[in-house]
Amino acid sequence: MKRRLAGHAVNPIGLGCMNLSHAYGHPPSPEDGVKLLHKAIELGVDHFDTAALYGFGRNEELVGPALKPYRDDILLASKCGMQGVDGKRVIDGRPEALRATLEDSLRRLQTDRIDLWYLHRFDKLNEVPIEDSVGEMARLVETGKVGAIGLSEVSAETLRKAHAVHPIAAVQSEYSLWSRNAEIAVIDACADLGAAFVAFSPVARGFLGGGDLDPENFAEKDIRRGMPRFQEPHFSQNAVLLPEFRRIAKEADITPAQLAIAWTLSKGQHIHAIPGTTSIAHLEENIAAGDVELSAEIVSRVETLINQNTVSGPRYPAGTQAEIDTEEFAGA
């Protein structure tokens, strides 16, 4: 059953494309990346998510040409407001920066429009009002180069301020059994405003994927190396949760990753999930989660097992946490 996103009816499981160029150590070759994108099309994926930041433009350069033959049949999402400048990650929500980013993204994506364009980060560090950033994005919607506007990693308060300037079609934030912050206010605020909620990392950055994850084996540039939940003493405490989670998945006759994704989608009809992967086998596994119907008992059991009170460690290091605008649980 398809769900609404930015004026389109799409499958509730899309593809987060970041992994193909960015963040988890050694990305696949461009040729293998294209193969995975084309396999996603074959499996019925019609929502693809990229960003100017990913690979400092390389992800858009990969995704755009690969999906160009299918352009009119898919929803293509990208992001602005955070990008690579002279080899460094920079947050910049100024109107002039967003205009320049859009033109660069359109060129790399080889398209004349981006269906859903997110502000990747609310530029609170440089004190750029959300109204200024969204106001410029709204003007770019009027040009026809942007279909709809989204926000990423924002609070309900920021969402409502932005929505007063221009309708916000979607909010994208991390959401999974082990990252429940969105339940404080944003998921409900999206429903109130008629916006979709797009969950990235629904498999908890691989933690709930079912494999034998060992942070010691992460690649040197894997961003999880800097995340407290994958560091000691937190990782050992979190790993204790996995055997029972896997038992529950086995009882439901699905894989752990499918249980994680299906749980995310069960939390609201306006919720979408965009798991990322570099593996075609994992891609097939993830997409099949769209056919899973979880019982109320299974949902209750996994929520009781894995939640903000049972998971150890913050999801981001302090520096990254300062850049985002999401609500936090007390004591987190």
Which helix (H) or strand (E) segment holds residue 4: the answer is: strand 3-5
CATH of the domain at 57: 3.20.20.100
How far apart (Å, rounded) are the C-alpha atoms in residues 223 and 220? 9
Residue 330: what pLDDT? Answer: 79
- Residue 117 falls within a domain, yes or no? yes
In terms of residue numbers, what domain contains 14?
A: 3-207+256-293
Is 54 one of the annotated active-site residues of the chain? yes
Residue 259: what pLDDT? Answer: 98
- Residue 249 falls within a domain, yes or no? no
Check if the beta carbon of residue 102 is closer than 8 Å to that of residue 145.
yes
Amino acid code (one letter) for 171: V
Q: Which residue has the tokens 């405003």?
A: 193
- Residue 240 falls within a domain, yes or no? no
Handedness of CA 51, 54, 57, 62 (dihedral sign): negative
- Residue 120 falls within a domain, yes or no? yes
Residue 332: what pLDDT? Answer: 57
DSSP string across 226-246: G-GGGSTTHHHHHHTTHHHHH
Non-local CB neighbours of 258 within 8 Å, separated by 6+ positions: 249, 285, 286, 288, 289, 292
Residue 103: what pLDDT? Answer: 98
Domain count, the chain: 1
Residue 324: what pLDDT? Answer: 94
Q: What is the mean pLDDT of each run of 10 residues along the chain (332 residues)?
A: 97 98 92 98 98 97 98 98 91 97 98 98 94 98 98 98 98 98 98 98 96 92 96 97 98 98 98 97 98 98 98 95 92 60
